[in-house]
Every structure is written in C-alpha cells, then in structure tokens.
Amino acid sequence: MKANDMILVSVDDHLVEPPTLFEGRVPARFADQAPKVVTDDSGADVWVFNGAVIPNIGLNAVAGRPKEEYGIEPTAFDEMRPGCWDVHERVKDMNAGGVLASMNFPSFPGFAARLFAAAEDKDLALAVLQAYNDWHVEEWSGAYPGRFIPMALPILWDPELAAAEVRRMAAKGCHSLTFTENPSALGYPSFHEDYWDPLWTALCDTSTVMSVHLGSSGRLAVTAPNAPVDVMITLQPMNICAAAADLMWSRVIKEFPDLRIALSEGGTGWIPYFLDRLDRTYEMHHLWTGQDFGDKTPSEVFRERFLTCFIADPVGVKLRHDIGIDNIAWECDYPHSDSSWPDAAEGLERVMAGVPDDEVAKITFENACRWYSFDPFAHRSREQCSVGALRAEAGDHDVSIKSFDHGRVEKKVGVRALDVAERATA
Amino acid sequence: MKANDMILVSVDDHLVEPPTLFEGRVPARFADQAPKVVTDDSGADVWVFNGAVIPNIGLNAVAGRPKEEYGIEPTAFDEMRPGCWDVHERVKDMNAGGVLASMNFPSFPGFAARLFAAAEDKDLALAVLQAYNDWHVEEWSGAYPGRFIPMALPILWDPELAAAEVRRMAAKGCHSLTFTENPSALGYPSFHEDYWDPLWTALCDTSTVMSVHLGSSGRLAVTAPNAPVDVMITLQPMNICAAAADLMWSRVIKEFPDLRIALSEGGTGWIPYFLDRLDRTYEMHHLWTGQDFGDKTPSEVFRERFLTCFIADPVGVKLRHDIGIDNIAWECDYPHSDSSWPDAAEGLERVMAGVPDDEVAKITFENACRWYSFDPFAHRSREQCSVGALRAEAGDHDVSIKSFDHGRVEKKVGVRALDVAERATA
C-alpha cells in the first residue's frame, strides 16, 4: 500500500504534561500540594510532587531534533518541540505525519503513576490522579474528538478504588488503562495473587484494555553498572517478554478470560519464538508444574488475549501470521527517540512492501480500533482519515529537523547504564 | 534430510560429575579439601566443597524419565540414568540417539566454576579446577576420541592465571572455555572493563571459543517471588539476549576481533529481531552514545563473532538466513529437561523438512566442527558417523522411558520461582 493511502492509528505515543495541567482541577485544600513545574538552577523545567523532583528526560522529547542532540539530560519546555506538550501543536504534527489517532502514555507520573501512589496522603494521591485522568479525557483527548484513544492512569494502592476509577473513566469513553508490566517490582502484589481481582473484574466489565508499557515497573535492563546505554536501549522491547510470560502463566489469564492486554512498545519480531517457547514449556513441563490451559495451547490463548505493536519491524512483518494478523498494531512513539515521525508512513510502505492491503489495514488501524473500542469514523469520513488527506490538512506545517539546543546543556558522549538508572529512579 | 542420514554434533550437553572425579588428581595436602560426594539425610547425593553443599538438581538429570518425575528436588546417582555421569554409558546413549559428538558443560561447580572461585585458599581453588580440567580432557572426553568436544572451566579470580589455563588446555587440544554470560552479576569486573584482557588475548591466540551458557551468572529470570517456575523456564533462552547485547556493545568485541563467542542453549528464533534491534539502535543513537563499528553494521559484526544453537526451533529454521546459515549449530541438552534425546534426529527431520541438505549439514555438525576446531573424521570414517550407523552400533541399548523414582522424594506440584532461585543460589 502507498504511504498516502494508509490510515494510521498509533497505540503508543507519549505526552509531556503541560505546566497548567492541574490548574483548577484539585480541591482547594490540595492546591499547594498538587504537582507543579519549577525551573531548576540548571535551567531545566522539572515537576515537583510529594518531595520528589522529576525531570523531563531529554531523550523522551526529541521528535524533530537532530540525533546529535539526543541525550538523557533534563530538559526545558522551550527545548522541546511544542507538539510534545501542547495538544493543538500535537494535532498539527499528527496531521503532518499523516497520523489519524494516537494513544498517549504519561511522562512525569511514570507509566503506572507510581509517583502519585507514593504519596502517603492517599486523599491527595486520589485527587491528583483523578485530576490527571479528567484532564486527559477532557482537555487533551477531548480537544480533538476522534484523534486520541483516551487512556487512564491506574490506582496502585487500593484495588477497589482502582476498579472504581476504571469504571468512572469507562463511563467517559475511556477503554485503556496504563498499568505496570510488573507490580511486584514496584513493591505491590504480583500477578500471581488475588489482590488485583477487583481491578481485573472492572477491566473485563468495561472492555478496558490493560496497556502495559515497557519499563513501567521502573526495572531497567542493567547488565552491569558500567554497561553502555546502548545495551539498555537494545534490550528494552525484548524485556517485555518477561511480562508476557509472567502474565501467561499467571492466574489472571485463566480466571479472567475477558481481560485483554496490550504489550506497549514491545515490538513483534520476538513473538513467534516466544509462542513456540510457551508451547514447548507447556508440553515438556506441565505434568510436574501443574499448569492447565484446558483444550488450548498457550499460543492460542496468547492470541486471544494479547495485542502487540511495532514501529517498523521487518521481522514482525515477515512473521505476521505466526504472531497473529489480528494481534499486531502500529505505534509511532512520538516524541521519544525511537519514533519514526514524521516519515512513519513511508517507513511502513517500505517494510510492508508486498503485504496485501487488507493486512496492512489491520496492522495500521483496524486492530487498534477494535481492541480499544475506538471509532474515529464517527468523527470524520474515512476519506478524510488517510495519510494523504491529513497531510493536505497540515498544509505547510514545518516538520523539518531543527535544533532546540540553546547551549544550556553540555552534551556527554558515552552514557553508562547507571547514569540512566539513577535518573530513572531519582 | 532423513534422520538416519544426518550427522549430529551437539554444542550443548551436560555431564553430572562422578564421585571419583578428584581421586588421585589433587596434591596430597588438599586431599581432604577436594570436593566430595556425600549422601545427605534425605538420601540425596550432594557435593560438598569449601563449606558449600551442592545438590544435583533432579530437573538437570531427567533424560529417559517420565515427565511426571521431573522436579527440582535434589537427586541421587541411582535416581539418574547412568549416562548422566558414566562416560561409557553416555557414549552408548549417544550412539542410540545417533549423536556423533557432544560438548559437556559442568554441573556442580556451576557453568563458570564459581564454586571453585569462591574458595578463599586460591591454591586449593587452582588445584581443584585444574584437576577438573585434566579429568575432563583425559578421562571424560579422552575416553572416546572424536566423540566429545573438550571444554575447560575458567579461572575467575585472576585474569593472568585464567589466560595461562586457557593456553594449558589448548595445548591438550581443548578449544572451548565455558564462561559466565555476565561476570558483573557474579561480582567480578564486567565486559566493559579491561580486567579480562589477558584472558581475551589467550582465547584469540589459541582459537578457543568462549561458550557462555544461559544461567551461568546465576541470575535467574525471577519476575516475582511467587511466579510459577514455568515463567523462568520460558524466559531462560530469551535472557541470553541480554548477554549478547552486553557483549555486542562492549569493548571486547571492538578490541578483540578474533574472539569467538557461543551463546549456549540460547535458541535462535529471537536472533533476527535482535539483530534488527541492534542495527536500529546503532542508526538512531550512535551519534550521541559514541558507539563505532567502522564500516560495518552491528548485525554484520554479530555474524562474524557469535555462534548460536537450537534444540529444535521451527522459527529459527524458518529465519535461518536472517540469523546466518553459518552461525547456527545444534544442541541436544542431554540430560536436562529440555533435551530431545533419544529422538532428536526425528525431531530435526520434522523441523527441517524442506531445508536443503547442505544447510542441514551446516546446522547439524559443520558449523560446530569449524567453530570449535573439532574434527571427528580424524577418528572414524564419515560413513560411520551418521545417525543410522551409530544406532546400528548401539544395538539393543535400551532407551525406553522408565521410572527412576524410588519413592524417596515426595513430588510437589506448583513450584514457584523463589523455590528454584533459593536452590540455585544455595
């Protein structure tokens, strides 16, 4: 399929929260304690909440910047492309990239909102988290109906409250919950305990997908403290197979057959090997480990429950039928460093050369829409949704690579795993 | 290719050390301190050395046993098939399975001999390690010339001594060193420091392959303490990609171009995705991370340096040219629970249906022989080496599945990750 004829719905992008997010959204008694942006001595804009200082990591807001400017240093709002944090600019960038719709994971709270969960005052935590969710669905996704798959932050500290929040958000049309790929690593009960059952029930009842983003437990792949950062970058998507294995062999999968899970930013090329490994492990070991999938194989169960995604994965495309053609979605990863924006469509045209049009459509938007109960065509005609049509709408919106380097940050070459891990857990 | 026409050389099997291993092989002053086998109160035979008690894990000696008898309980010699620990029985089992030659990793010392390295008396450690290596090359591999690829244990505590031991063993015809996939996890300097340079130099000088077996750092994939053991089993081969990434981005690869590395028991189906990920990481990030592979891509470098292997991996077979047809070897994994013995050849016939004969030959023996400087045909004619010929030699040697359960051990269903991790690090 030609790039301009595609329809693109991305199941993994990121927003950088604007400083005004909580304004007027928390009860007056918490106004002073709500997260706020301050500019630190180095000139970086950082979020402050509950005694923690959370920088915006440069690498997570590099869309449209030269690769030489990539780095892990904390950044400032004027060192990012405005589409990172301004929804109106974001939609212009989406149009210019031909992206019809996008699901946006959070930044400073952590993918599973562990920052909010860490507050001892749980009334404050709840107020802030609900303010965020309301802002996301009303001001961010709500500003452009049909252009965003809304996503809710989870409540980690109380499964009944977590369930109630899922139901509250579903009533607002939100059918995606960002969640950690390993609650145990965050100090909460694992997928192998019944603690989370009220949440799983709520997800099933409301057809809300649990979207587990790589790295959401904060557990990074640090092979050695002095390993180069390249090791960590390489391994990131492959590590989500640990989450997939953890879930596959857990009681969650067996006892909540309606639960649907998305492996966000997990890539796809490793999946066929993983499925074969699941089936072989089951065949060789279930007689002594006690696992029981009834009349199904683990790989069959995986395809019923898991959505996978890729940015541009030639191996995944080649093996798409071994993965499951109904199990693959596309992601743009804007504005992170792995993103293919603004030329994603051209990249997809190359990597999917020879793939039949109906299969391209499944991967680029149909699977995403079905899994997330999302219907963009309720808001604009299908003709208006193609890459070509959106780009025509974008007009002369500038997507050229340009420097946002004001000379504030001294760039450092040769970053080590520990540098990143320290910042990630700071 | 028909099963009986194949030639099978396995690059990953295991020996269980017989109780007599150290007899007459350590200086008299260490005779009392050499590792010895004792039978514990439960009836299990355990190794004792330097204050540590090391059981033989049942799961690691289950060849020929019913799957219901698999388990992690410590075992006794009479609860194993004799081929686990008796080289004469082993060769009979190899013949019956049609396996021409085999490389055997150690059991009780750990894959990287960390048990010996832990001894405070380094003279004792050296005496014991050299006794082991001599025994391996003289009594085990040496008993049947051309039937075993000899393998040396490494010295972890002194890189100059480690280098000398590699040279000493190479002079005896040994061109494989078992090594840890992550020295940092064992408390030693990582692959990113120059500590190991004398060892790398010795490996290059002697054309000795560094064989890094999954799990050799003792770092297991424990997603959560109460995760079922199935999670760990599933993830084992996939975790070696962390070692591959760690090595690929390390100085070792750049500064020692003659060093060859085998990813033992790592499987192959994940490799094409991994290679694509390496290349993409390089393309997107090397301008700020400072990585430099000159005029090559990381995937090209990988294919020059790394040997991979599989037991029976349909995805790996399908993607063999994306992996590198000269980079894949076969392994049997006898007597571990993943092993395909005694029907490995039939399994290969199925999984390699349609693969040209010359490619089957590369995978089943040619690549292994070339990488490990091993020439089985110096000892027997090629005609005598096929699966069919070896099976004819085996005659009526019994390979039927039979119980070795004497009722000593109460089997437990539902093993958790922590149970295994505790035993593994006991």
* pLDDT tens, position by position, B191-241: 999 999 999 999 999 999 999 999 888 777 778 989 999 999 999 876 789
Residue A187 forms contact with B (CB below 8 Å): no
Q: Which pLDDT score is estimated for A421?
A: 66
The pLDDT of A78-89, averaged and rounded, is: 96
Q: Which pLDDT score is estimated for B49?
A: 98
Residue A278 forms contact with B (CB below 8 Å): yes
Residue B246 forms contact with A (CB below 8 Å): yes
Residues of A in contact with B229 (CB under 8 A): 285, 289
Interstrand relation of A99-105 and A148-149 (parallel, antiparallel or unpaired)? parallel
Is the pLDDT at A162 greater than 90? The verdict is: yes
- Other CB atoms within a 10 A radius of the CB of residue A119 amount to 20
B60-71 burial, b for 16+ CB within 10 Å, e for fewer?
bbbbbbeeebbb
Residues of A in contact with B333 (CB under 8 A): none
AA letter at A213:
H
The pLDDT of B258-262, averaged and rounded, is: 98
Structure tokens at B151: 């393998």
Nearest-CA distance B121 → chain A (Å): 27
Q: Quote ipTM for the complex.
A: 0.95
Q: Which pLDDT score is estimated for B10?
A: 98
The pLDDT of B284-312, averaged and rounded, is: 96
CA distances for B266 relative to A55, A298, B311, angstroms: 38, 21, 10
Residue A27 forms contact with B (CB below 8 Å): no
Residue A154's pLDDT band, with cuts at 50, 70 and 90, is: very high
Nearest-CA distance A227 → chain B (Å): 6
A229/B69 touch (CB, cutoff 8 Å), yes or no: no
Nearest-CA distance A21 → chain B (Å): 32
Is the pLDDT at A54 greater than 60? The verdict is: yes
Q: CB within 8 A of A321, min separation 6: which ones?
A: none
pTM of the model: 0.96
Please report the sign of the dihedral spanned by the C-alpha atoms of residue B389, residue B395, residue B401, residue B405.
Answer: negative
Q: Which pLDDT score is estimated for A231?
A: 93
Residue A57 forms contact with B (CB below 8 Å): no
Is B273 in contact with A267 (CB distance < 8 Å)? Answer: yes
Is B179 in contact with B112 (CB distance < 8 Å)? Answer: yes
The pLDDT of A57-70, averaged and rounded, is: 86
Mutate: best of B59, B193, B231, partner A, most A CBs <10 A: B231
Q: What percent of chain B shows pLDDT beyond 90?
A: 84
Query: What is the SS3 assignment for B209?
Result: strand
Determine the distance from the C-alpha atom of residue A167 to the mean position of all C-alpha atoms in its chain, rounded to a whole number: 21
Q: CB within 8 A of B171, min separation 6: which ones?
A: none
| pLDDT: which is higher, A192 or A221 | A192
Residue A172's pLDDT band, with cuts at 50, 70 and 90, is: very high
Is A314 in contact with B275 (CB distance < 8 Å)? Answer: no
- Rounded to 5 degrees, φ, ψ at A368 are -60, -45
The pLDDT of A80-94, averaged and rounded, is: 97
The number of residues making up chain A comes to 426
Instruction: Give the span between the Cα atoms of A153 and A144, in whole angstroms.
Output: 20
Q: Which pLDDT score is estimated for B92?
A: 98
The pLDDT of A252-274, averaged and rounded, is: 97
Residue B231 forms contact with A (CB below 8 Å): yes
B353-404 pLDDT, tens digit each: 999 999 999 999 999 999 999 999 999 999 999 999 999 999 999 999 999 9
- Rounded to 5 degrees, φ, ψ at B54 are -115, 110
Residue B412's pLDDT band, with cuts at 50, 70 and 90, is: confident
The number of residues making up chain B comes to 426
Is the pLDDT at B14 greater than 90? The verdict is: yes
A230/B281 touch (CB, cutoff 8 Å), yes or no: yes
Is the pLDDT at B281 greater than 80? The verdict is: yes
| pLDDT: which is higher, A423 or B87 | B87
Average per-residue pLDDT for chain A: 94
B310-341 burial, b for 16+ CB within 10 Å, e for fewer?
bbbbbbbbbbbebbbbbbbbbbbbbbbbbbbb
Is the pLDDT at A396 greater than 80? The verdict is: yes
Q: Which pLDDT score is estimated for B259?
A: 98
Structure tokens at B275: 């290679």
Instruction: Give the span between the Cα atoms of A275 and A261, in whole angstroms.
Output: 16
Nearest-CA distance B425 → chain A (Å): 19
Smallest Cβ–Cβ distance between B272 and the set A221, A235, A315 belongs to A315
Q: Which pLDDT score is estimated for A380?
A: 96
DSSP string over A10-65:
EEEEE-PPPTTTTTTTS-GGGTTTS-EEEE-TTS-EEEEETTEEEEPBGGGG-TTS
Q: Which pLDDT score is estimated for A73?
A: 84
Cα–Cα–Cα angle for A360, A265, A311, rounded to 5 degrees: 40
Residue B426's pLDDT band, with cuts at 50, 70 and 90, is: very low
Q: Which pLDDT score is estimated for A366?
A: 98
Instruction: Give the span between the Cα atoms of B170 and A79, in whole angstroms.
Output: 57
The pLDDT of B19-31, averaged and rounded, is: 97
Nearest-CA distance A157 → chain B (Å): 18
Is B33 in contact with B126 (CB distance < 8 Å)? Answer: no
A269/B273 touch (CB, cutoff 8 Å), yes or no: yes
Indicate the helix (H) or strand (E) that contains A369.
helix A367-371
Q: Which pLDDT score is estimated for B145?
A: 97
Is the pLDDT at A277 greater than 60? The verdict is: yes
- Other CB atoms within a 10 A radius of the CB of residue A82 amount to 17
Is the pLDDT at A426 greater than 60? The verdict is: no
A190/B272 touch (CB, cutoff 8 Å), yes or no: no
Strand order in the sheet with B176-179: B148-149, B99-105, B8-14, B328-330, B306-310, B261-264, B209-213, B176-179
Residue A251 forms contact with B (CB below 8 Å): no
Average per-residue pLDDT for chain B: 94
Nearest residue of chain A to residue B73 (CA atoms): A288
Residues of A in contact with B314 (CB under 8 A): 276
Query: What is the SS3 assignment for A170?
Result: helix
Q: Which pLDDT score is estimated for A414?
A: 77
Interstrand relation of B45-49 and B36-39 (parallel, antiparallel or unpaired)? antiparallel
Smallest Cβ–Cβ distance between B182 and the set A191, A223, A246 belongs to A223
Structure tokens at A94: 């989406």
Is B44 in contact with B135 (CB distance < 8 Å)? Answer: no
Residues of A in contact with B414 (CB under 8 A): 289-290
Residues of A in contact with B284 (CB under 8 A): 67, 70, 337-338
Residue B184 forms contact with A (CB below 8 Å): yes
Residue A373 forms contact with B (CB below 8 Å): no
Q: Which pLDDT score is estimated for B218?
A: 75
Is the pLDDT at B303 greater than 70? The verdict is: yes
Instruction: Give the span between the Cα atoms of A94 and A96, in whole angstroms.
Output: 5
